[in-house]
Structure 1
């Protein structure tokens, strides 16, 4: 399918262009964005579970969820920005 092709090609490009040929730190930004996204899902599930179970939201859990959500977005957006800057010469 087209989704699998895009997914596979993205990771192939990250490996070939930004790790093997010429190292660029945007790979770390993409990795950290993905890591914090998974952490956000886990913390959001925990937040909703405790909200349903106890009837109130713990402040530290809400802060951790928001911190991981904001970090995931920032790391991913910075990685996209670095990727655009690295490929600026390819625009027609």
Structure 2
């Protein structure tokens, strides 16, 4: 989901409120404001943000089991990490 609008009008709050109401544990939120300084978002930076978002919310052994089947994804306890370079998997 992408929501556009002027700064400081409550877009993030709206999205978080709807997600918490209708899918309290079934989403990952990535705040793209962390990339405002650069002219673009690299693949590596985006995947790192996704990794951070997953790790902030992961509580389910079932989700960890699903993620562990993806080549390039490592599970350690309740922590998820993605590999880089030639060993990087494809999430298809």
Structure with the larger strand share: 2
Q: Same fold (TM over 0.5)?
A: no
Higher relative contact order (CA 8 A, sep 6+): 1
TM-score, with structure 1 as normaliser: 0.29
TM-score, with structure 2 as normaliser: 0.29
